[in-house]
Structure 1
Amino acid sequence: MIYELSQQFFFEAAHTLDREIDTASSKRIHGHTYHAEVSVRGTRNPHTGMVVDLGLLRREIDRIRSVLDHAFLDEIEGLGKPTLENLSGFIANQFVNFDPPISSVRVWREASGDSCRLTLRAVAS
């Protein structure tokens, strides 16, 4: 059996964005409440009964959240343009050595209904 575990978190951040639509408002510094979900997939360890100890996942999330929360996203090294796609990729890249590997990252803004899910790997069933 394959299990999927997820942990959600949120962060407040500001950014600018150069885009074709809503150009004036997007170029001004503005902020959002971002929500994110990090998921892992795998089989249960027969000794622990867990795919991963959620405490370990939360510890990594807290580290990432501390980088993003109340930050100006335009200045985050390695993020690139502060789009939902790049935020999803940035968060996923922070888990490069995590075991089990991250299977997906979702970032969304509830106020506007925007969402992006990055699927990283499939687990054979």
Structure 2
Amino acid sequence: MFELSQTFTFDAAHTLKRHVSPEEAAGSRRIHGHTYTAEVAVSGPRQQDTSMVMDLSVLRAALAEVRALLDHHLLDEVGGLGTPTLENLCVFIFDQASARLPQVSMVSVSRVAGDRCVYRPKA
């Protein structure tokens, strides 16, 4: 079994209602943005005819469609995302990517600040 992954970045804004100190929560409640990096992995055996799990061009094309749903958008308004947390971004990207590629096995989303979330629903 092999795991093949591709990353993409997107810039997006959002608001977030947090239950922390008023000083910390204030910045999150205002519209603010981040640069995100998403990694999407597909798993499977090498195909007999190609020796690849999947042609990377197929993976990149599917992820370009997913990226277009998020890049330079206000995440609060993205249908099906819900509250724009790292966790919900992982699930959203997984759902969108796996609708295009059933071999998707993992999604991670990170921000430049060092925050990262990993989603492996079949693990």
TM-score range, shorter chain: over 0.9
Cα deviation, residue 41, structure 1? 1.1
Distance 2:97 2:38 in 1: 14
**Aligned residue pair count:** 120
Residue 4 of structure 1 corresponds to 3
Flag structure 2 segments of 5+ consecutive residues without an equivalent.
none
Residue 46 of structure 1 corresponds to 48
Flag structure 1 segments of 5+ consecutive residues without an equivalent.
none
Q: 1:98 to 1:67 in 2, by over 3 A?
A: closer
More helix by share: 2
Residue 83 of structure 1 corresponds to 85
Greater shift after overlay, 59-68 or 75-84? 59-68
TM-score normalised to the size of structure 2? Answer: 0.93
Cα deviation, residue 99, structure 1? 4.2
Structure 1 residue runs of 4 or more that deviate by more than 6 Å after TM superposition: none
Residue 25 of structure 1 corresponds to 27
Root mean square deviation of aligned Cα = 1.1
Distance 1:74 1:99 in 2: 26
Contact 1:102 1:120 in 2 (8 A): no
TM-score normalised to the size of structure 1? Answer: 0.91
Contact 2:4 2:43 in 1 (8 A): yes
